[in-house]
Structure 1
Amino acid sequence: MKTLTILYLHGLTSSCMSSRGRFLRDLLPKDHILTPDIPLNAHEALRFLSDIVHREEPDVIIGSSMGGLFAHQLPAKKKILINPAFTTSEVMGRYKGLRLRFYHERFDPDEKDFEVTEDLLLSYIEVESEQWKRISEKDVEATVGIFSLQDEVIKQDDLFDKYYRNKIYIEAMHQLSYEEVEAYVIPEIEHFRLCQK
């Protein structure tokens, strides 16, 4: 069976130590799972992630929440968007002027929290305004959206429907549990693996 390189992109207040990243490593021990810390500035994040994709050439990119905003703009044979936050600025805007704490330790242990500044918000608004220009028919075919019916953070399945076709609804909250990753994300990866020559 083919070993896959999988790039997992975490959500806004998460990190390379994300629970979902750890779940993937546990559930797919023979695959190469990459879970980088995403820079806070959206322009820097997209450049950083583009460099990783160019260097590592992942077979699968998985983006959760904010990670979905970036994942769907990057080239891969398979993309899985988990409760994607295509308008991350909408979520961030609720916290403008406040400091948000990271849920998990980042690669830089001194990076414990961040302030939601006007400049940070603007970086997301700018990247969001350009995101749909990068989508090709190949991207449409490669992308599946997984949407939680009880998502308490952001619901963007209607926006997904304007550009993509493959969608799954699940009984879950915004952040998927181990069992939910195993039940809904892993089958998508395994189906993709079987289709590879």
Structure 2
Amino acid sequence: MGKILYLHGFGSCGEGNKSKALKSYFGEGNVLSPDLPYAPLDAITYIDSLIMHEDIDTLIGSSLGGFYATYFAEKYAMKAILLNPSTQPWKTLSAYVGWQKRFCDEEVFEFKSSYIAQLETLETEIKHGTYLVLLQSEDEVLDYTKAQSLYNTHKVIVEYGGNHRFENIDAYMSMIEKFRK
């Protein structure tokens, strides 16, 4: 079996609670969790390179990382686990154009208006990927029903309660493991 590539969300880092939980469960060497470039097209180029060179067989993406995971699951007909995925980041992130701080370490970065247009060019139709979509109804950032509707022909789990950070990923590890097989 290949490796898992964990794709973090907007303003986050590769080394966070979810990636640490995944590495603890699946083994440090079986999970890649890089810091992604801020520019969407740079992120796509970087992720594509990892998929091509690192024996990746499963994508796990949270929020914006879920949007990126969808792009690659469709491009390569891969399996992807999506945690509160963003379905239209060009809309939800438009309010964040300007200077921001990463949640993980307070590093300052600029989210440029050109990135919104880049995100819109990455929208893809759900046809070739295989998805496990894990949603929490109390996501304070994204409306979970949008992802529930978009991925409705796939395995979608809605947990009532929770939040955008999907802090209880540990409870889903065995489900993620079974989905990968």
Decide whether the 8 Å contact of 2:61 with 2:85 is kept in 1: yes
Match of 2:133 in 1: 145
Taking a change above 3 Å as real, the CA distance of residues 188 and 77 of structure 1, as seen in their structure-2 partners, is farther
C-alpha distance in 2 between matches for 1:8 and 1:120: 21
Match of 2:57 in 1: 59
Aligned-residue offset at 1:79 = 0.9
Unmatched segments (≥5 aa) in structure 2 = none
For 1:96, give the aligned amino acid: V
The reply to whether residue 104 of structure 1 matches residue 104 of structure 2 is: yes
Unmatched segments (≥5 aa) in structure 1 = 106-110
Match of 1:46 among 37, 44, 47: 44
For 1:175, give the aligned amino acid: R
C-alpha distance in 1 between matches for 2:110 and 2:79: 34
Match of 1:68 among 55, 66, 69: 66
C-alpha distance in 1 between matches for 2:118 and 2:104: 23
Aligned-residue offset at 1:100 = 1.0
Decide whether the 8 Å contact of 2:86 with 2:147 is kept in 1: no
TM superposition score normalised by structure 2:
0.86
SS of residue in 2 equivalent to 1:62: strand
Aligned-residue offset at 1:190 = 2.0
For 2:175, give the aligned amino acid: E
Decide whether the 8 Å contact of 2:133 with 2:151 is kept in 1: no
C-alpha distance in 2 between matches for 1:122 and 1:67: 17
The reply to whether residue 33 of structure 1 matches residue 31 of structure 2 is: yes
Taking a change above 3 Å as real, the CA distance of residues 50 and 164 of structure 1, as seen in their structure-2 partners, is farther
Match of 2:164 in 1: 174
Decide whether the 8 Å contact of 2:62 with 2:82 is kept in 1: yes
The reply to whether residue 121 of structure 1 matches residue 116 of structure 2 is: yes
Number of matched pairs: 176
Larger radius of gyration: 1
For 1:116, give the aligned amino acid: F
* Identical positions, percent: 27
Aligned-residue offset at 1:176 = 1.6
SS of residue in 2 equivalent to 1:72: helix
CA RMSD of aligned residues (A): 2.2
Aligned-residue offset at 1:144 = 1.4
1:65-86 alpha-carbon deviations (Å, 9 max, x no partner): 0000110121364210101012
C-alpha distance in 2 between matches for 1:42 and 1:77: 20
For 1:84, give the aligned amino acid: P
Taking a change above 3 Å as real, the CA distance of residues 77 and 122 of structure 1, as seen in their structure-2 partners, is closer
The more displaced of 72-81 and 82-91 is 72-81
C-alpha distance in 2 between matches for 1:168 and 1:50: 28
1:72-123 alpha-carbon deviations (Å, 9 max, x no partner): 12136421010101212222211233x1101224xxxxx9222232212222
